[in-house]
Amino acid sequence: MQAVDYRQINRILDEHRRDPLRLVQILVRIQHDYGGCPPAVRDYIAKAVNVPQAQVHGVVEFYHFLSPERLGDYRIYLSDNITDRMLGNERIMAVLQQDLQVRRGQPRADGRVHLDYTSCTGLCDQGPALLVNGRPITRLTPALAGEIAERINAAEPLDAWPAHWFQVEESLRLAGPVLAARSEPGRALQAAFQQGPERLLKEIDRSGLRGRGGAGFRTALKWRVSRDAPGKAHYVVCNADEGEPGTFKDRTLLTRFADEVFEGMTLGAYVIGAEQGFLYLRAEYGWLYPHLVAVLARRRAEHLLGHQILGHDFNFDIDIHLGAGAYVAGEESALIESLEGQRAVPRTRPPYTATHGYLHQPTICNNVETFVKTTLIARNGADWFLASGTRHSPGTKLLSVSGDVARPGIYEYPFGVSVQTILDACGATDTQAVQVGGPSGTCITPLEFGRAISFEDLSTGGSFMVFNRSRDMLAVVQNFTHFFAGESCGFCTPCRVGTQLLRQSIDKIMAGHASARELADIAETASTIRSMSHCGLGQTCANPLLDTLQRMRPLYESRLTSLDFVPGFDLDGALAPARELSRRDDAAAHLGQRCDELGCIVNSEGAGARR
């Protein structure tokens, strides 16, 4: 492993102007170059950018992809969305652990290799997928995993690996007006300059455009509030955090339609009077960074960004900020905290981002797709946009379809399309359930396949995961519930503790240890978490459990023990440190936590002895 070179670190610090607002960016870079941000480096950075050591410490420990230890030359993160599971990521993990002689989450003895799972990497249409030093490898097979391990064991640098391994496919399966339209860079801007900001805003208002990130807030309303708010400066933020498991349509837009994304941001700046914009790119899409930087550079050369855009008295530029692995950073106020170099903890509202966003100045924060749609509306007019969709959800929606379907990929449909229509188009057969909108969305069964994708019925930021009858839906619930437990930011009590409690409950159910009482308890705990949590993560984290408890209760009941009570304390789990110390993992070293008819805990099969 490369030794820490403080001259190089100084260069990184200087590139970022030793600006405390860029702390996350600095640490992302250090992590990339050195595989970690050890305490000495951390303290050095704290002094250099003049923030408390505890802040740097806090940031390093907050984000998944930053670490206080140096993780080695090869840092492998295997995507662990349920769709990756269904495509066999556990086999891949087994092969990698075996061939690399490393245990998941623990550095290899020589300190060169680190291997772990991570939340959905946005490659569900071509899973199982992994990231190695931030670069994606998709469609993994055990054979390919073996080859990867071989190259790592031979210490071959990534640049010497076959280039096609790192190729990501963009499968546009069904193109609607967005995916079919290729707009010439600058056309929408020219149209906007002809209209002026006020008329452009009225046109967006008339189009009825609603945010595509999931919540469906009226875009024009947000922009108007921000435009009218007083401030030292106004800012535009594009939310490219795309963290909802099963969503990958922003990946496609950033790959194929980056011009439209940036042009939409520029239109936003024109309307609200901003000179600075940020695109917040999730860490998992770091591999798109060079491409996006190149598009920005080209747009500057074409006078579509920078000083005096297209000769008008209007200056605007865009900076790309990388995330560092945190689903909650997609929440817009948490995203802004991250942009300011902090832990991504959602802010208290009111005040709202539109009036108190970046540096507490008026800021618009919109989803990637929302900006693309703005570009198209500016170019083609509101009537064109209103021609598709429903009354309350005009226009089209990009859907990321994955799971048990013949043709996973991106589908563009007008709002109002039925779930069944989509299932037919993507070649889904024998479907048991569809998760619309990701883990935080809704799980529906065939009875409801006539329902429509729209803000007034089934709302989605784009995730559409399909499960056929061979799937164990409780394993799906377990995956999602673990996801939330791993992603809770820890700020508020109900979510910080509640996500852990829900995780324990589903694990207990899966292990066959739960009693009927547990089910009633889940509903009560869930309602406390939902009502009292600070942000959308906590408010939705119980959805997978609640939806399936409501629609598939027999699945749960078939796994209950007949006893009315099983202790919540995990005796076997408590023995884990003892097993670790005695280096034993045989059957007799385990306690099956089951009670006999007298309520006594009995050992698992094979262990025999009675307590």
Partner 1 sequence: MNGNDFTFVLDGENIRFEPGQTIMEAATQAGIYIPHLCYHADYRPRGSCKLCTVKINGRFGSACTMPVQPGMQIDNDTDELTAMRRRLVQMLFVEGNHYCPHCEKSGNCQLQAVAYHVGMTDSHYPHFYPLRQLDASHPDMLLDRDRCIACELCVRASLESDGKAVFGLAGRGSRTRVVVNSESGLLGDSDFSADDVAARICPTGALIPKREAYLRPIGARQYDLRDIAHNAPPDPPSPEQMP
Residues forming contacts to ligand SF4 in the complex (CB under 6 A) are 328, 346, 488-492, 495-496, 533-535, 537-538
In the complex, what is the shortest distance from the CB of residue 495 to ligand FMN, in angstroms, rounded to a whole number? 10
Cα–Cα distances (Å) from 128 to 31, 113, 124, 153, 171, in that order, read: 25, 20, 7, 22, 16
Q: List 78's β-bridge partners, or say none.
A: 117, 130
SS3 per residue for 523-549: HHHHHHHHHHCCCHHHHHCCHHHHHHH
* Distance separating alpha carbons of residues 34 and 558, to the nearest angstrom: 50
Strand locations in 323-362, DSSP E? Answer: none
Query: Which 319-338 positions form the footprint of partner 1 (CB under 8 A)?
Result: 326
420 near partner 1 (CB under 8 A): no
The 8-class DSSP code of residue 452 comes to: B
User: Does the footprint of partner 1 cover residue 10 (CB under 8 A)?
Assistant: no
Q: Using the rule CB under 6 A, is 546 a contact of ligand FMN?
A: no
Out of ligand SF4, partner 1, ligand FMN, none, what residue 524 binds, judged by CB under 5 to 8 A for its kind, is partner 1
| DSSP type of residue 447 | G
Please give the structure tokens belonging to residue 347: 């802010």
Nearest to 122 by CA among 293, 214, 288, 249: 249
Contact code string over 503-542 relative to ligand FMN, x by CB under 6 A: --------------------------------xxx-----
Map tokens 């290899």 to a residue.
108
Query: What order do you get walking across the sheet with 317-322 strand by strand?
Result: 317-322, 274-281, 234-240, 363-367
Contact of residue 314 among ligand FMN, partner 1, ligand SF4, none (CB under 5-8 Å per partner type): none
User: Judged by CB under 6 A, does residue 211 bind ligand FMN?
Assistant: yes
Q: How far apart are CA 116 and CA 605, in angstroms?
A: 31
Span near ligand FMN by CB under 6 A; candidates 208-216, 302-310, 511-519, 551-559? 208-216
- Report, in Å, the least distance between residue 460 CB and ligand FMN: 11
Nearer to ligand SF4, 497 or 595 (CB): 497
CA atoms within 13 A on the CB side of 199: 8
The answer to whether 478 and 507 are in contact (CB under 8 A) is yes
**What does 350 bind: partner 1, ligand SF4, ligand FMN, none (CB cut-off 5 to 8 Å by kind)?**
partner 1
**Using CB distances below 5 to 8 A depending on partner kind, what does residue 437 bind out of ligand SF4, ligand FMN, partner 1, none?**
none
Select the binding partner of residue 497 from ligand FMN, ligand SF4, partner 1, none (C-beta < 5 to 8 A, by kind). Answer: partner 1
Non-local CB neighbours of 475 within 8 Å, separated by 6+ positions: 82, 85, 510
Strand partners, 418: 452
Size of the site for ligand FMN (CB under 6 A): 23
Binding status of residue 367 toward ligand FMN by CB under 6 A: yes
Q: Is 485 in the site for ligand FMN (CB under 6 A)?
A: no
Q: What DSSP line would sit under 271-282, residue for residue?
A: HHTEEEEEEEE-
Query: Under the criterion CB under 8 A, does residue 348 sit at the interface with partner 1?
Result: yes
Q: Which two tokens stand for residue 454?
A: 């729209």
Structure tokens at 12: 């990184």
Q: Is 300 in the site for partner 1 (CB under 8 A)?
A: no
Our CB check for partner 1 shows the closer of 40 and 301 to be: 40
Q: Find which of ligand FMN, partner 1, ligand SF4, none residue 498 binds, CB within 5 to 8 Å per kind.
A: partner 1
Token code pair at residue 492: 């508020």
**Footprint of partner 1 on this chain (CB under 8 A)?**
39, 43, 52-55, 57-58, 60-63, 326, 343, 348, 350, 485-494, 496-501, 504, 524-525, 527-528, 531-534, 567-570, 574
